[in-house]
Structure 1
Amino acid sequence: MALLQLILSPSSSSPPHQPSINPSTSAPTTLNPNWKLLFGPPLVFRSLLSRRFQRLSSLRCSASSFPENHHTNQPKFDDVVELPLFPLPLVLFPGAILPLQIFEFRYRIMMHTLLQTDLRFGVIYSDAVTGTADVGCVGEVVKHERLVDDRFFLICKGQERFRVTSIVRTKPYLVAEVNWLEDRPSGNEDLEELANDVEGYMKDVIRLSNRLNGKPEKEAHDLRRNLFPTPFSFFVGSTFEGAPREQQVLLELEDTATRLKREKETLKNTLNYLTAASAVNDVFPSS
């Protein structure tokens, strides 16, 4: 399968967070294998964007269910609450859909508890290099299937973001105290204009990606689907599969304008790369 390259700006090379949680336990297995993609040269990451864009509907959060203040039962953001955590080698964004398979005993215990409570847990990025991040996203179980061997298949939807303030316990699974995060006002920034610019670059990236992959250059219409700028910025971040550290940076940003600008720069660099690749392909079709 052909992989699309996204070109990161120099400022995108490392995430701003300092890992604060280092559980020795292994994470549950996710059904999405894209995090295993190999990375290319410095400042370049590979992503299955073309595949992801073909199934936008699976990640789409409608404007009616995910407005600017996206969760109808949104907690007070000065609250400190306890939250069970799933460390995973991927990043969950508000509004995104995440399928999971739960088979480890400790996480099956957690699932039994969640099914009797509010079905909400924290998904937090973790890898062997950077450790475990201190900012994550709540995953709410919207569908589940319990198998005869007590494994679980879950479909989760991202809700509000959180920052870990302290670890309450590590056994049988991680539980942490967290504060909720929300974006600060973006001042005089024109968020609508920024969101429209990002949407435009996404459409061009999709078109050229399809061309390079030998697919029809169909125009991608209305990627925003009436999303407000903040949830749209999370949606864009969720499409950057294969680059979890960059996704973590986007998740941690607390300013919608800054997030959209960073995404715009990444998509712009990617478009420049695809344009050059397309030109080479026109001259040397066999390559």
Structure 2
Amino acid sequence: MEIPLFPLNTVLFPGWPMPLHIFEPRYLEMVRYCTENKSPFGILLIREGKAEGDVYVEPYDVGCMVSITQTEQLQDGRLLIMTVGQERFQVQSLRRNKPYLVGQVAQLPYLPEKTAPLQKAANELHPLVLNYLTQLTTLADNIEFDPTQVPTEPEALSHMAASLLQVSLETKQSLLEAKKISNALNFLTNQYRREIDILKQFPQQEMGNFSIN
């Protein structure tokens, strides 16, 4: 399928919301196209170039398709939109004959795995994510954390855990590109153990405001 592409300095995972402030004319045009045609667009991490004003930006090949759930037009023409990640995709080819990038993309499903060991890997990560968020509640003011928001289903858990983790964009991109969910879960399990140990060293109320939404 062919969709508009929006290169950004961020990595989005399926199921995760992302608010966007749209002000460049080319992306205002892109959002108009998507809303009028009920089309998704794709968010990709920038490999080379700048998010603003760079026509020849080079994105990574794997990104997240998003749908627009809310739009608000400001008086000066800018748009505030809320998007939600839907599924991973891989770019097969790019077109640059419009003000914004357009890509021929294919869905990128994970390789199939046996249910029992996959759920076992998720069961190892799940309490670590809860522990991590609990640690943050002792460090941050006005935290919003509901344990029921942390899923137990392996794919959804891996996406949430990857979104919350404070690691480099390149590391997040590698997680987005994982061929198997178990690969992401195992990496995240090790990383969360390290993060929890680090958080224990912070004095209370040093983190400021935090929310998992």
TM-score, length of structure 1 as denominator length: 0.61
* Runs of 4+ in structure 1 over 6 Å off: none
> Are 2:126 and 1:199 equivalent residues in the alignment?
yes
Q: Which residue of 2 aligns with 1:237?
A: 162
Distance 2:93 2:125 in 1: 36
Q: Who is 1:248 aligned against?
A: 173
Give the alignment partner of residue 180 of structure 1, picking from 86, 95, 107. 107
Q: Distance in 2 between matches of 1:268 and 1:92?
A: 23
Aligned to 2:110, what secondary structure does the other structure show? coil
- Residue in structure 2 matched with residue 115 of structure 1 by the alignment: 35
Q: Select the structure that is richer in strand.
A: 2
- Give me the whole-angstrom Cα distance separating, in 1, the residues matched to 2:147 and 2:175: 24
Unaligned 5+ segments in structure 2 are 50-56, 205-213
Match of 2:147 among 214, 221, 228: 221
Distance of aligned partners of 1:220 and 1:202 in 2 relative to their CA distance in 1, 3 Å threshold: farther
Task: Identify the residue that residue 7 of structure 2 maps to in structure 1.
Answer: 87
Q: Return closer, same or farther for 1:273/1:83 CA change in 2, 3 Å cut-off.
A: same
Give the Cα–Cα distance (whole angstroms) in 2 for the partners of residues 151 and 177 of structure 1.
Answer: 28
Residues 1-287 of structure 1: pairs in structure 2 closer than 5 A: 81-128=1-48, 132-187=59-114, 190-211=117-138, 213=139, 221-225=147-151, 227-241=152-166, 243-275=168-200, 277=201
| Structure 1 counterpart of 2:53 | none
Shift, 1:241, TM fit? 4.6
Instruction: Give the superposition deviation at 1:102.
Output: 0.7
Shift of 1:159: 0.4
Deviation per CA, 1:16-53: give whole Å up to 9, x if none.
xxxxxxxxxxxxxxxxxxxxxxxxxxxxxxxxxxxxxx
Number of equivalent positions: 197
So what's the TM-score if we normalise by structure 2?
0.81
Give 3-state SS (helix, strand or coil) of 1:163's partner. strand
Between 1:266-275 and 1:253-262, the stretch displaced more is 266-275
The structural deviation recorded for 1:210 is: 3.7
256-265 or 238-247, which moves further after superposition? 238-247
Deviation at residue 220 of structure 1 after TM alignment: 6.3
CA distance in 2, matches of 1:200, 1:223: 13
Post-superposition Cα deviations, 1:143-170, rounded to whole Å, max 9, x if no partner, equal 1112233211100010011101111225
Aligned partners of 1:86 and 1:111: how far apart in 2?
10
User: Aligned-pair RMSD on alpha carbons?
Assistant: 2.8
Q: Is the 8 A contact 1:123 1:138 kept in 2?
A: yes
